[in-house]
C-alpha cells in the first residue's frame, strides 16, 4: 500500500503549483484554473486521509468541495464574461476599477 505521506506530498506540490499560478499569470481564466488546481489538491488530501483512517466522511466532504467548485466556476466565468463585455480585455492589469 502506498504510504500516506506520498499523497500528502503530491497534494502539496499540486497546491504549490496552484498558488504560483495564481500569483504569476495575468489571464483571469488561467487564474481560475489554478484555483481549481488548489481545490483538487485539497480533495486528494481528503480522500487519502479518509482512506487511511477508514472514515467515509472525508469523501463526503470532497463531494461538498466539488459542489462549491462548480458554483465558483459558474459565478467566476459569469464575472469574466461581464468584465469582458465592459472592457474587452481579460488581463488583470486592465482592471483597476477598485483602486482608490
Partner 1 sequence: MLVVAVRNPIYSALALLVMFFHVAGLYVTLHAEFLAAVQIIVYAGAILVLYLFVVMLLNMRQDDRYHRQWPMAAVVGGALAIEAVILTAMKGWTTPVVAAGTETTVGGISNTAAIGDVLYSTYLFPFEVASLILLVAMIGAIILAKKDLGEREA
Residues in 37-56 that interact with partner 1 by CB under 8 A: 37, 40, 43-44, 47-48, 50-54, 56
CA dist 18 → 22, 58, 98 (Å)? 6, 22, 25
Site string for partner 1, 7-36 (x = CB under 8 A): x-xx-x-x-xx-xxx-xxxxx-xx-xxx-x
Which set of grid coordinates corresponds to residue 61? Answer: 466532504
Q: Phi then psi for 91, rounded to 5 degrees? A: -80, 135
Quick one: 23 or 100, whose CB is closer to partner 1? Answer: 23
Question: Residues interacting with partner 1, by CB under 8 A?
Answer: 2-5, 7, 9-10, 12, 14, 16-17, 19-21, 23-27, 29-30, 32-34, 36-37, 40, 43-44, 47-48, 50-54, 56-57, 59-60, 62-64, 66-75, 77-82, 84-85, 90-93
Amino acid at each position: 500500500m502506498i504510504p500516506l505521506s506520498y499523497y500528502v506530498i503530491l497534494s502539496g506540490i499540486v497546491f504549490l503549483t496552484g498558488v504560483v499560478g495564481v500569483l504569476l499569470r495575468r489571464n483571469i481564466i488561467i487564474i481560475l484554473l489554478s484555483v481549481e488546481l488548489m481545490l483538487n489538491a485539497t480533495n486528494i488530501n481528503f480522500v487519502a486521509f479518509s482512506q487511511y483512517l477508514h472514515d467515509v466522511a472525508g469523501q463526503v466532504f470532497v463531494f461538498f468541495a466539488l459542489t462549491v467548485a462548480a458554483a465558483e466556476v459558474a459565478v467566476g466565468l459569469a464575472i469574466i464574461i461581464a468584465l469582458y463585455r465592459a472592457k474587452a480585455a481579460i488581463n488583470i492589469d486592465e482592471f483597476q476599477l477598485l483602486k482608490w
